Structure 1
Amino acid sequence: MKKIAILISIATVVLSNNHALAGEHGAHCLNMLSGEMKNCRVIVSELNNSLEMNFKSDKLQDVNMKLKGNQITEISTGEYAKKRTKETIGASLVLGPLGALVGLFAKQDRTQLAIEYVDYQNNKNVTMIDIPTKHSEPLMKDLESLTGLQIRNTEGTGNSE
């Protein structure tokens, strides 16, 4: 019985240390095909050097995204994030749904993060994560730790323009 208790204690310590290497966050992520924000799970893993955005809906599994930390070129929040997202995807998406969505979330206590990255064809792209503000700080710290970048912010914390 003591051996089982010791194994459980060791497993708890090992698993809790691995958890520190991967942060998981509930959020809304930009579906690049429709331009709509949908429920997703954001996983930032230093161990795998990756940011994963996995949609909760079974119908959206084909638009899940996984980026290596070195693919991410900039992370921004606040008005700057909205501006960068519109500038980058404006040519490829109709901004009607995205523009309305950004306006809707702006009225709530939420934080939007624009993640600019270079894809595997060397094209510059952006995606967006929307998370309740009260849960945003751990995600932002995880992203900064993963990428070594400081988040640009026009609302008083971090870098400003």
Structure 2
Amino acid sequence: MAAITGPITGEAKNTVAEVLQGALVDLIDLSLVAKQAHWNLVGPHFRPIHLQLDEVTSLARTHMDEIAERAVALGINPDGRAATVARSTKLPQPDGGWLEDGKVVATMTDLLDGISKRMHERVHTTEEPDPVTQDLLIAVAQEIDKQHWMFQAQR
């Protein structure tokens, strides 16, 4: 099978590949953590947090597909396998069992803060080697920052 090649090569391609893979892992695990919290949430603020967790899951799933497809367009193999995500994630994992709404808000605030910081670093890293990838990451960062603000406001 012929390899797919893209518009960037060399060290620029390696830099962008690392950035895209990190973003992909963050987004895949964000979708999983948000769904886990969504399914196990309890407390007086259940309904709005339950719905907000669905929003987070949806944005993560949409953007992880865009990130993976950008990688492929550049001739980079995205790796979204469960073992890869488990081995490389930087996201704190929620406790098992029922999750009290206040704890979910705190966990999601902290988790989104970490993702936001990494996305902003990725935006900076891709400015020179690939402005198209940078543009995708800016869109992700914008939505992550919005969700971070919305969870933080509930603390």
Same fold flag (TM > 0.5): no
Q: By percentage of residues, which structure has more helix?
A: 2
Which one has more relative contact order, counting CA pairs under 8 Å at least 6 apart?
2
Larger Rg: 1
Structure 2 length-normalised TM: 0.30
